[in-house]
Structure 1
Amino acid sequence: MALDFPTIFLLPAQLGSEELEQLEEQIPTLTYDINEAEVVLGKVSRKERALFELRKHKLVTEEIDTTRRSASASPELKRLRLMTPVLASSDLDSDTASEGEIQRRLVGPAAPGTAGQTVKVVRLSWFTDSIKAGLVLPLDDYLVYEGRKVLAAPETSQPPPPAEKAAEVLKRALADASALPPSSRQKPFSGRRGETYVRNPVRPTLVRQTTSEHEVDAHLPPIPDYLHTTYSCQRPTPVHPPNEPFIEELSKIKTARTLTGDKIGVRAYSSAIATIAAYPYTFQTSQATEVARLPGCGAKIALLYQEFKETGQIREAREDESDPKLAVLKLFYNIWGVAETTARDFYNRGWRDIDDIVEYGWNTLTRVQQIGVKFYDEFLLKIPRAEVESISNIILAHANKIRKGFQMVIVGGYRRGKTESGDVDVVLSHPDESATLGFVERIVVSLERDKYITHTLSISTTNSERGQVPVSWKGNEKKAGTGFDTLDKALVVWQDPVWNAGESVKNPNPHRRVDIIISPWKTAGCAVLGWTSGTTFQRDLRRYCKKERSLKFDSSGIRSRLDGSWVDFESGPDGEPAPDMLTAERRVFAGLGLEWRPPEERCTG
């Protein structure tokens, strides 16, 4: 039975991506709107830090003197809490927005009845200790800060209306709100860090619906059954979905959230994008209700769609593209070997372009980052499918020259059907397990000898070092950075050594990024599945395995979360190995109880 926690907002600061994901799944009362929260939970130990986080998330409070406050809440605050509607779980959208957020976004900056409510910032250990104890512990020993919410919306003495479903709220807002003339709109100005603020903010413009549009709403196509699941690994998601232009705009916003470290925002937009990409129909109207009804979208995405349909663009995406700080962060983020946290670190050092990195920070870069800077422009060039095939065939030929019988699958975006790829990813395997033991070093040496590999960025032999035995599951006590699979692999820089010397003295062929993954035959299906599928597909596949099957999945195999043992879905009924790597991949789908999805239907982004 789930514990009766108060409504919790989780601060992503100082949380790794895997730890954040695990906590989000564990918190039964999680909200993505800090204004709804009774408790703000995070790795916070000082009041000053708590106040900083509240300001960062645009929540204004006035501190409560807990030393003078009586043990029980005042009757007025109790009445306010009782007056706050309890939302039905079926009405919530846990991926993007809660029902409370839906109401606030449509009717103003805050729902009535929230002024004067308190919020408590508590240490993360309160939640983890409560889980271990099996009961919700008192907050007193974990409390960092307590404040009373101060909201911009005027207070009202009337109780709030009953909670409504998202579609009902949207239709009511669409019918009641009148369009504002352009002259009445306030011009936004950009803050120091790229945020956009609006003086005297107005609610988004909502057009009135005509009778014919109401009739269209009544005849919208039914939501496919597969879209009622929260797992994108259970949906067909094509490379070019019907609403691709809108998805491209949302992807720009998601990228900005990535660069600014908004992990919760990235997850919310990723879920919404994956849902819309799996929706098999082109949106029929300019109204928000068609989008709002889709799982994982909510009112925020619905209103963004209405703005896109009316103007052909999304203002937030345009502002992100024109923000000078985000432009610099994106420049740094595109350096191979530089993650978003490192990009922000470069910016905070005062660097604003590649030349600054070379002049002021070259000696502080890792070797991989130096190579990323050196070949920056070349790595940004897309690789046509024909060249991906040519590079892969050369790798397979070298593998079979060393030991006959190797098989290969080109994975990544190429296998999902993209016309161009950012890099080349191949998985090699051999039915004889002894052939793959230590093979990654041999294939690299062979390709270097023939001058195809110019630089080896990293080489991992972890799988061979443990004798290619599938690693057992050891529980949730994982160190940061261990989420990547443990297969042998080489990440290299590739350049075709053949060119017409009469046309150029120096090799004019661009340098390419190539990943060579070596998998033992018994887990080759997991390797092909993991390295083929889109990012959100992979995330939801891991979540599905955890929640629905008590399994741990990554590209190096499947393990039981109950006893830690390796689970073999790839062998046949009599224990015979799969005849090829693609058959092994299909058997993994079947073993997990998932409908087979061809690679072209795993394009979740």
Structure 2
Amino acid sequence: MPLPTNPLQMVHLGPRKKRPRQMGASMVCPPHDIKFQDLALYILEKKMGTTRRAFLMELARRKGFRVEDELSDSITHIVAENNSGSEVLEWLQGQNLKASSQLELLDVSWLIESMAAGRPVETTGKHQLVKRDYSASPNPELQKTPPLVIKKISQYACQRRTTLNNCNQIFTDAFEVLAENYEFRENEVFCLAFMRAASVLKSLPFTIISMKDTEGIPCLEDKVKCVIEEIIEDGESSEVKAVLNDERYQSFKLFTSVFGVGLKTSEKWFRMGYRTLNKIKLDKTLKFTPMQKAGFLYYEDLVSCVTRAEAEAVCMLVKEAVWAFLPEAFVTMTGGFRRGKKIGHDVDFLITSPGSTDEDEEQLLPKVINLWERKRVDSGKCSQQEGKTWKAIRVDLVMCPYERRAFALLGWTGSRQFERDLRRYATHERKMILDNHALYDKTKKIFLKAESEEEIFAHLGLDYIEPWERNA
């Protein structure tokens, strides 16, 4: 059975070892969708090197740019690094390609800014190696680009704005594989090291293309930098490659994809010699929890992605069921969808009602589940006659007292690393304790009230960060 591609987030460390660079088939990348058809880029290898050029080409293609391997008359932009305009023009003459007024000769800074913006940015004097009218200056020189001024980056995700526009996915994907592997091995220290590294790189407004770019960035330990350096030089990480081919990692990835299966169960099945789900299901000596039974029964549905349209449809079903028992209740979709994600693996809802009693809150979820259970049984009878016409989706329902709704909303919105750092910040920087229920000031020895997320940020002395900026 193929392994599901459900990215958690983990990593591996170790001293960097130089290895021969693999050329040929291993360098071939899958095709990417071209978003900007009017542009055709050619990245100059001169003073850049083969591997670095291949690295930038792959990054640009991931962002939707059309990057050509060979120079031709169709090229609209030539991108160079550490070359003056006259050097590029001299090189062009040797290629028998005449520079025209339509051809842009640009410094690599233009490409980096464009990839960060997710679109081609306007070319200005600081980007252009020569003026567009090449005949006007017979010997133009590179206009110096002022260094990019970057504000000091905080070690805490709650002080960084992290959108879904990840300029460093080639690195963060590697970190998350390694972090997941350490989670499977219950090595919390290394797991957190790579998760924090992935988190800070996701917040950067630029793409790392050299080790110099990592200077001043927090949470990048030596072993993390070894992985970055290897990817820059070789286009991939040997550690990540080894992890992806590791039988234990593959087995744990597969086992934990079953709803209700954690690390202890995965370890048990792996030690028993199981490597596929089919053999586990056929073993009559194994006992499964109700969640695991549901996980196997609806496996294909639960490992597939939930779209925003499906999440919105589920939201209507949840509201309908909740309002049948608590008409004044507020139902809010939280989790990744509140942070702006278009797909997820489950749907989380926060339920609260201003006029509810403790008894109402205790009885609501059992009532909703019983209602759905009756509908499921009725649906099952119909599906036996008509065939399955529905999809199983994991839904998390959280009921909280109305006066604690702000804390619950903040806690259940995520991301996981954002929440971790928010609580770490509260403890270490403000001497407070924050959880999904309350905020306690240890100095004043009082609980601080909040009617909104903004008030919680204010109590902590933090600038408010919108939900879609918490994708840490």
Q: TM-score by structure 2 length? A: 0.66
Distance 1:506 1:440, change over 3 A: farther
TM-superposed CA distance for 1:565, in Å, is 4.7
User: Which residue does the alignment assign to 2:455?
Assistant: 587
Shift in Å at residue 498 of structure 1? 10
The CA deviation string for residues 570-599 of structure 1, in whole angstroms up to 9 with x for no partner, is 3xxxxxxxxxxxxx1222222222111111
Q: Is the 8 A contact 2:423 2:433 kept in 1?
A: yes
- The letter of the residue matching 2:404 is T
Shift of 1:336: 1.5
**Counterparts in 2 of 1:405 and 1:354: CA distance versus 1, 3 Å:** same
CA drift of 1:443 comes to 4.2
Q: Corresponding residue for 1:482?
A: none
- The 5-angstrom pairing of residues 436-447 of structure 1 reads 437-439=359-361, 441-447=363-369
Aligned-pair CA distance for 1:562:
5.2
Q: CA deviation at 1:538?
A: 0.8
Q: Please list, as runs of the form range in 1=range in 2, the aligned pairs for 1:503-518 lying within 5 A after superposition.
A: 505-518=386-399
CA contact (8 A) 2:315 2:333 kept: yes
Do residues 265 (structure 1) and 180 (structure 2) align?
no
One-letter amino acid of the structure 1 residue matched with residue 364 of structure 2:
R
Q: Which amino acid aligns with 2:148?
A: P
> Offset of 1:361 from its aligned partner?
6.4
Map 1:25-424 to 2 at 5 A. 105=15, 212=82, 220-225=147-152, 227=153, 229-283=154-208, 285=209, 287-360=210-283, 363-424=286-347
Partner of 2:96: none
Any idea what the Cα deviations from partners look like across 1:102-140, whole Å, max 9, x if unmatched? xxx57x8xxxxxxxxxxxxxxxxxxxxxxxxxxxxxxxx
Secondary structure at the residue paired with 2:349? strand
Give the match for residue 448 of structure 1. 370
Cα-to-partner distance string for 1:120-164 (whole Å, 9 max, x where unaligned): xxxxxxxxxxxxxxxxxxxxxxxxxxxxxxxxxxxxxxxxxxxxx
Distance 1:383 1:390 in 2: 11
Do 1:499 and 1:509's aligned partners in 2 also have CA atoms closer than 8 Å?
A: no
Q: Which runs of 5+ in 1 are unaligned?
A: 1-95, 109-178, 184-205, 455-494, 571-583
**Partner residue of 2:34?**
none
Q: CA deviation at 1:427?
A: 0.3
Q: For residue 470 of structure 2, what is the aligned residue in structure 1?
A: 602
1:8 is matched with: none
Are 2:303 and 2:345, in contact at CA under 8 Å, matched by a contact in 1?
Answer: yes
**Unmatched 5+ stretches in structure 2:** 1-11, 23-49, 53-79, 84-106, 110-144
Deviations 1:88-109 (A, max 9, x none): xxxxxxxx99xxx9xxx57x8x
1:544 corresponds to which residue? 425
Measure the CA separation in 2 of the matches of 1:520 and 1:315: 50
3-state secondary structure, aligned to 1:242: coil
- Cα displacement string for residues 290-313 of structure 1 (whole angstroms, at most 9, x for unaligned residues): 124311113333332232234332
Any conservation in 2 of the 1:274–1:536 contact (CA below 8 Å)? yes
Select which of 388, 399, 410 maps to 1:529. Answer: 410
| Letter of the structure 1 residue corresponding to residue 82 of structure 2 | S
Q: What residue number does 2:33 align with?
A: none
Report the counterpart of residue 197 of structure 1 in structure 2.
none
Task: Decide whether the 8 Å contact of 2:171 with 2:198 is kept in 1.
Answer: no
Q: Aligned residues, how many?
A: 351
Contact 1:291 1:301 in 2 (8 A): no
Tell me how far apart the structure 2 counterparts of residues 307 and 417 of structure 1 sit (CA, whole Å).
Answer: 32
- Paired residue type of 1:517: V
Give the partner amino acid of 2:149: P
Aligned residue identity for 2:262: A
Give the distance between the partners of 2:348 and 2:447, measured in 1 at CA: 26
Taking a change above 3 Å as real, the CA distance of residues 334 and 363 of structure 1, as seen in their structure-2 partners, is: same
Q: Distance in 2 between matches of 1:379 and 1:542?
A: 31
Match of 1:559 in 2: 440
What is the deviation of 1:253?
1.5
- Rounded to whole Å, the distance in 2 between the matches of 1:309 and 1:390 is 43
CA 1:449 to 1:521, structure 2 compared with 1: closer, same or farther past 3 Å? closer
Q: Distance in 1 between matches of 2:387 and 2:418?
A: 42
The structure whose RCO (Cα within 8 Å, separation 6+) is larger is: 2
2:340 touches 2:468 (CA, 8 Å); kept in 1? yes
User: 1:260 Cα shift?
Assistant: 2.0
Cα distance in 2 between the residues matched to 1:182 and 1:320: 19
- CA shift digits 1:481-501 (9 cap, x unpaired): xxxxxxxxxxxxxx9949997
Shift of 1:357: 2.3
The TM-score, its normalising length taken from structure 1, stands at: 0.52
CA distance in 2, matches of 1:511, 1:536: 28
The residue aligned with 2:8 is none
Percent identity, please. Answer: 23
How far is the alpha carbon of 1:521 from its aligned partner? Answer: 1.3
Instruction: Output the CA distance in 1 between the equivalents of 2:356 and 2:367.
Output: 20
Indicate conservation of the 8 Å contact 2:307/2:342, yes or no. Answer: yes
- Rounded to whole Å, the distance in 2 between the matches of 1:592 and 1:498 is 50
Amino acid in the other structure paired with 1:448: N
Q: CA RMSD in A?
A: 3.5
Shift of 1:549: 2.0
Shift of 1:451: 4.5
| Structure 1 residues 138-193: Cα deviation after superposition (integer angstroms, max 9, x where no partner) | xxxxxxxxxxxxxxxxxxxxxxxxxxxxxxxxxxxxxxxxx87669xxxxxxxxxx
